Amino acid sequence: MPAVHCYAPDKRPSPGPALPWTRKAMHTPTRKGRDSLMPKEETAATHAFWLAGRPVVGGDTFDVISPWDGRLVGRAGVPTDTQVEEAVAAAYGVRDEFAATPAHVRAAALDHVSRRLAERTEEIGRLISAENGKPMKWARGEVGRAVSVFRFAAEEARRFNGGEAQRLDTDLGGQGRLALTRRFPKGVVLGIAPFNFPLNLCAHKIAPAIAAGVPIILKPAPATPLSGLLIGELLAEAEAELPAGAWSILPVSNDRMPALVQDPRLPVISFTGSEKVGYAIMDSVPRKHCTLELGGNGAAVVLADWASDEDLDRAANRIATFSNYQGGQSCISVQRVIADASVYDRLLPRVVAAVEAQVTGDPGDDATDVGPLVSEDAAKRVEAWVREAVDAGAALLTGGKRDGASYAPTVLTGVPADVTLSCEEVFGPVLAVQKADGEAAAFAAVNDSKYGLQAGVFTHDLQAAFRAHRALEVGGVVIGDVPSYRADQMPYGGAKQSGVGREGVKFAMDDYTYERVMVLTGLTL
C-alpha cells in the first residue's frame, strides 16, 4: 500500500459561521494520585479586570483552579456586556490621542512594567505555576522573558516612527521632491492570548501595542487569567500615565468572543491558539487584519555528522528537556525526532534514558521538570492519541500513563503516518522518534506536515545548515539545537497552517501599523 501522508497543502479546515471556542472557562482539576477533585471552598482574592486603564470588580466572577491539586488559586471578575462595550468605545475613541502620545511617555510605562516584573519574579512565578501547573523553574523563566519583552518594547517605542526619507529626483519628474514614510496604527487591536504562557504571551500582545501607540483590548485565557490581569496592575501604577482607553484587559468567556471578533471598531486581531479557532476567526472576518500563531508539531533533525558520544548526549538531553518542558504545552516543543540512519541506533536509547530522567510531580517544587497539563481533559486527549498510535502499531518505549491531569513523559517509535499523533499538534509530553536515510529524506519528513512553525537541526556542517534554511518549510530553523528556542525580539511565526504574520516586539509593531507616505515638493536637495 502507498504511504499515507498528513500534509495536504491545498486543503484547510472549513469552519462554519460559528466560531468554535472550545476551551472551557472552568475545568475539573485533579491532584496526582487522586481521583478528580472539585475545588475546595476556600477564601481567595477576587482579581479586578481592567477597563480603560482602571480596575473594576465585576458582578460575576469565575474560579481559577490549580490543575495540580484542585485548590482555588483566585477569582477573576467578569465584565458585563455593558462594560465590554465601554472598553471598546473607549479604545476606539482614544485612537488619535494615543497615537500622538510622546514616545517617552509610552516608553516610561513599558520600562516600569519591565522593572516591576523583575522585582516580583518569585511572586509572579508562583502565580503562573499555581494557575497553569507550570513547574517553577519554567515559570521563573517565563517572568524573565516578559521582563525582556517590556524592555524591548520600551526601546522600540523610543525608536519607532522616526520615518524614512527617500529622494525622488532619481527620475526627472521627481526633481525637488522628497518622500517621508512613517507608520500609523491600523486601528484598535483585539489581542487573544492562550493558557500555556499566561504572562509572556499576554506581554507579546500588549507591549508592542503600547510601544506603537495602538489601543488594545486584551483577552487572557479563561483557564489562566490572573497573570494577564497582573500586567494591568503594573501598568496602572506607572507614573507615566497613558490615555484612558489605551488598554483594557477583559477576562471574557470564550462563548462571548464572536461579537468582539466581529466588531468593526476592532480591525486588527492578534490571536495565539489552536488552528481550528484561528482560521475560524480569520474566515469570519475576511476584511480584518489577522495575525495568527497557531502552533505546530516541531521536529528535531539529527544529521549524520552529529555523531560523537558528546554530540548524541547533548542532542538527547536537549530533546528530552524540550519535549517535556511546560508539560509539552508549547507550540515549539519537540514532538518529532528524525535521526539519520547512521546515528539512530545510538541516539534512541539516549533519548529514552534522558526522558525517563525527567522529574515529574509538584510544579511548586524546584526539582520538578514536568508538571500537570492544564486540565484532566487535556491529559485524557493525549492519552487517547497515544493509545490510537499504539493500537495502530507504534512501539511505546517509555511513559504512556496518565494520572489525573498529569501524563508521563512518553517516547514512541514506528508511529504510522496517518494517526492523529503524526498529523496534529499533541500539546503534551509525547515524542515520536523515526529514522531517515540521509539529509534529503530527513528534510522531506519535516516538511510532510500541514504545520511549519520551527524546526531544529543538529549539525556541525555550515553548508547543511544553509541547505536546511532553504529546504525546510517553517518560520524558523534552529541549528545545533531543538526547535524550542525563541528569542522574544526576533520574528516569530509559521508557514503553512502554523499561522500568518509575525510576533516579536518590532515585528508585531509593524503588524499593528501601516506605512503612510508624505511627499514634500519644491525642495533644494
* Closest of 127, 111, 130 to residue 29, by C-alpha: 130
Spatial separation of the C-alpha atoms in residues 273 and 284, rounded to whole Å: 16
Among 142, 156, 275, 293, which one carries the catalytic annotation?
A: 293
Which secondary-structure segment (H or E) carries 77?
A: strand 72-78
Separation of alpha carbons 54 and 75, rounded Å: 18
Quick count: other Cβ atoms within 10 Å of Cβ 419? 21
How many whole angstroms separate alpha carbon 294 and alpha carbon 494?
A: 8
Instruction: Give the C-alpha separation, 501 to 226, whole Å.
Output: 27
Check residue 259 and report its DSSP letter: H
Q: Alpha-carbon distance 444 to 1, whole Å?
A: 20
**What is the C-alpha separation between 357 and 313, in angstroms, rounded?**
13
Cα separation, 385 vs 159, whole angstroms: 48
331 belongs to the catalytic site: yes
Backbone angles phi, psi at 284, to 5 degrees: -80, -20
- Asked whether the beta carbons of 221 and 192 are under 8 A apart, the reply is no
Say if residues 340 and 304 touch (Cβ distance below 8 Å). yes
Active-site residue flag, 233: no
Query: Which ranges of 160-267 would DSSP assign to H, the alpha helix?
Result: 200-212, 226-236, 257-262
What's the chain's Rg over C-alpha atoms? 24
Contact 274, 266 (CB under 8 A): no
Instruction: Centre a 10 Å sphere on the Cβ of residue 27 and count the other Cβ atoms it contains.
Output: 17
Please give the Cα distance from 298 to 307 (Å, whole number).
Answer: 22
Residue 501's CB is within 10 A of a number of other CB atoms, namely 19
Among candidate residues 202, 290, 331, 423, the one labeled active-site is 331
Half-sphere exposure of 441 (CA within 13 A, CB side): 11
* DSSP labels, 391-405: HTT-EEEE---EETT
- The span from the first CA to the last CA of the chain, in angstroms, equals 71
Strand order across the beta sheet in which 430-436 lies: 395-398, 410-413, 430-436, 336-340, 299-302, 454-458, 476-479
Active site residues per annotation: 293, 331
